[in-house]
Structure 1
Amino acid sequence: MVTPKTDIVLSLADARLTLDGNAGPVEILRGISLKINRGESVGLTGPSGSGKSSLLMLMGGLERPSAGEVNALGHDLSMMGEDALARFRRGNMGIVFQSFHLVPTMTALENVALPLEIAGAADAYDRAEAELEAVGLGHRRNHYPTEMSGGEQQRVALARAVAPRPEILLADEPTGNLDAKTGAAIVDLLFGLQASHGATLILVTHAADLAARCSRVVQIADGQIVGDSGAGA
């Protein structure tokens, strides 16, 4: 899939998300319009239930908008089928979840190599080993997720996300399940990897100090943007 070059890597136009609830349809996102430029680090903030994670899922093509448009790297995600979306994410996006989502039957090395193997990289294991070294886990390459701490698992998840050199890096509360010291180390690592790989970072967080490290902060409340430090920039 050819990805046209543009300074705008993510664009949402009046994007809406309505999901079925027990009492009927629930409006999760109510008309989000947003443009994110190449190389930005954007913190998505707001109270619990405001729609931050749902917005991140729209950006990653993991949820489809009920109305409006979601465009990533020149491609309208709402018009793509599931297979096409999976191929697009594989080549262009790295996603880090709060709960790690490592494959329990695979070693750290195998987990990091997985997206590279799927992409057909001949040097998948060499690159995976280099990424594990970059996050300080070369010595844990043959360990399984259950043999690692939460912080180590999150570092493996980060290595897996950045190994294919994605243009867009999405992170949903990446320190939410970690203690303060480990979380701070993960944050340093996340921004370091974003800078070294030149990726655009979109980060969901409740932590004001973490959001402050981003070049731009977008505040969400009740499914709408209520603040944007990059508006008009």
Structure 2
Amino acid sequence: MPHPPLSLSGAALSLRSNAGLVEILHGITLEVQSGETLGLVGPSGSGKSSLLMLMGGLERATSGTVTALGHDLSVMSEDALARLRRDHFGVIFQSFHLIPTMTALENVATPLELAGRADAFERARAELAAVGLAGRADHYPSQLSGGEQQRVALARAAAPQPDIVLADEPTGNLDGSTGATIIDLLFDLRDRHGTTLVLVTHDADLAARCDRVISLRDGRIDNTANAA
């Protein structure tokens, strides 16, 4: 039986601050199945974004294990983690994280070029067209609206056809109508590429469309909320 794309067992995360050691996540155990859309919800400061970072190897678990696509992330070097993300993950941030000196097309093509894809710009144009931005390919981020920038970020994440997409509040900086468009595009990405989606969100409409929703509170899975 194939392994799930994401699996965490007793995963904990502590970070040092000026005030000492801060415990952020406590004993997180969960599996995300292939093609599943998992929503992570909970109040601000509950550990949602930190959990997303653990899943992508952007933070290392202090204890426990995090396995992605059969790889134990805790024993991988930073270079190996970067290659795993490049080849198998797409990451979408609330604040877009576009490169301001690059056009929309160049932003989307960048991860493909880094992966050595000969068809990087062809693929990038196709993904921009898929999110309705074929006519904005030569525009810079400063020339795009917030919704357009988020669509570029989504196209960039989708272009390598990743196995897993991690999205941190993908509709958080957008108005309701634009956010609804982004939600539709996220699920279109899943349907086109069979992608496993993990979404951190406060958006009730987005959470309602997920296959499963996990609520976090104080760095723990809130089983009371899940049971309800």
- TM-score, length of structure 1 as denominator length: 0.94
Distance 1:229 1:91 in 2: 35
Q: List per-residue Cα deviations over 1:36-69 (Å, max 9, x = no partner).
A: 1101000000000000000000000000011110
Q: List per-residue Cα deviations over 1:157-186 (Å, max 9, x = no partner).
A: 000001000000100000111111111111
Q: 1:34 to 1:229 in 2, by over 3 A?
A: farther
Give the AA of the match of 2:47.
G
Shift of 1:196: 1.1
Runs of 4+ in 1 over 3 A off after TM superposition: 227-231
Match of 1:83 among 75, 79, 82: 79
Distance 2:226 2:186 in 1: 21
Give yes or no for contact 1:216–1:230 (8 Å, CA) kept in 2.
no
Give yes or no for contact 1:217–1:229 (8 Å, CA) kept in 2.
no
Q: 1:163 to 1:219 in 2, by over 3 A?
A: same
Give yes or no for contact 2:3–2:70 (8 Å, CA) kept in 1.
no
Q: 1:157 corresponds to which residue?
A: 153
Answering whether residue 113 of structure 2 is matched by residue 96 of structure 1, we say: no
What RMSD in Å do the two structures reach over aligned CA positions?
1.5
Give the AA of the match of 1:101.
H
Answering whether residue 98 of structure 2 is matched by residue 118 of structure 1, we say: no
Q: 2:186 corresponds to which residue?
A: 190
Give yes or no for contact 1:94–1:170 (8 Å, CA) kept in 2.
yes
Give yes or no for contact 1:61–1:77 (8 Å, CA) kept in 2.
yes
Q: List per-residue Cα deviations over 1:99-125 (Å, max 9, x = no partner).
A: 000011100000000000000000100
Q: 1:185 to 1:97 in 2, by over 3 A?
A: same
Give the AA of the match of 1:135.
V
Distance 1:104 1:208 in 2: 31
Q: 2:101 corresponds to which residue?
A: 105
Structure 2: gaps (5+ residues) = none
Aligned residues: 227
Distance 1:63 1:132 in 2: 30
Shift of 1:229: 9.2
Distance 2:226 2:18 in 1: 37
Match of 1:212 among 208, 214, 217: 208
Give yes or no for contact 1:216–1:228 (8 Å, CA) kept in 2.
no
Give yes or no for contact 1:132–1:138 (8 Å, CA) kept in 2.
yes
- TM-score, length of structure 2 as denominator length: 0.96
Shift of 1:19: 0.8
Q: Counterpart of 1:64 in 2: which secondary structure? A: coil
Distance 2:77 2:201 in 1: 29
Identity value in percent = 67
Shift of 1:228: 9.0
Q: 1:8 corresponds to which residue?
A: 4
Match of 2:134 among 131, 135, 138: 138
Shift of 1:24: 1.2
